[in-house]
Amino acid sequence: SAVWVLNGPNLGRLGSREPDVYGSMDHAGLVTACQETGKELGLSVEVRQTDDEAELVRWLHEAADAAIPVILNPAAFTHYSYAVRDACAQLRAPLIEVHISNPATREAFRHTSVVAGVATGTIAGFGIDSYRLALRALASR
Ligand code: DQA
């Protein structure tokens, strides 16, 4: 079955972006890792990334209309985008919020997630494995 992995702003710059925080794998590597894990689990995984809030909201509407489960890394939108939250609230299949880093150990502005309250669950702090763990969580539901 189909799963979407949606990545928010600046995640297209993985690999070169603050590698001490986000690791050395680039976004293409993340796509491959998700698809490989998906294959093991019998999930067909589509990975998308955007820096554009409006585009992310549109994708969430599409996922809501098609009842597709979503693994979402809202990136900085996590902390302030009520538009992304309201779009997430419309989803009809499970939503897993993921983060590469553990925002709770970082700056105070990262301690709030406006998305968490409408997610099925959250996985944070395991690097790229956060995505693999999220796929496993979806597969076992
Ligand atoms: C992030 C954490 C956010 O605070 C940050 O704005 C990001 C990435 C993560 O995956 O660790 O862009 O969502």
Q: What is the pLDDT along the chain (141 residues), one digit of tens a residue?
A: 999 999 999 999 999 999 999 999 999 999 999 999 999 999 999 999 999 999 999 999 999 999 999 999 999 999 999 999 999 999 999 999 999 999 999 999 999 999 999 999 999 999 999 999 999 999 999
With tokens 């890394």, the residue in question is: 73
H-type helices in 47-128, by residue range? 53-66, 82-88
Q: Which two tokens stand for residue 135?
A: 């796929």
Per-residue model confidence (pLDDT) at position 74: 98
- Ligand 1 center to residue 101 CA distance, Å? 6
Question: Relative to the CA of 9, which ligand 1 atom is closest?
Answer: 12
Q: Which two tokens stand for residue 48?
A: 């998308």
Indicate whether residue 100 lines ligand 1 (CB < 6 A). Answer: yes
Binding site annotation covers 73?
Answer: yes
